Amino acid sequence: MFKALDPLLHSQVRLAIMTILINVKSAEFSYLLENIETSKGNLSFQITKLKEEGYIMVKKSFRKNYPLTTVSITPKGIEAYENYIDAISEYFKKSGKI
């Protein structure tokens, strides 16, 4: 039997955000934008989706009078990410290609 994949994480941009955040304490919006091929609007939309589910925390502040958005992963987000990786790994294992 195949495990269910988290539909929230089964999106390229949201999975990329989570993959970056799993390895760092936090990341600025500009860093995510540089490392994920998407538009500012789409990145903002996907961050909001992850925040609404409780997978990430978003901190808004200012640096030299410019808005600064910093994003970090929550314990719930870490658990969801690890479950997603475990589930999708099973798909690959069952394909016989790994």
26-76 pLDDT, tens digit per residue, is 999 999 999 999 999 999 999 999 999 999 999 999 999 999 999 999 999
- pLDDT at site 9: 97
Q: Kindly list the domain boundaries of the chain, sorted by start residue.
A: 12-95
CATH of domain 12-95: 1.10.10.10
Q: Which residues pair with 58 in a beta bridge?
A: 71
How much of the chain is helix, strand and coil, in % rounded to 5?
55, 20, 30
87-97 pLDDT, tens digit per residue, is 999 988 888 76
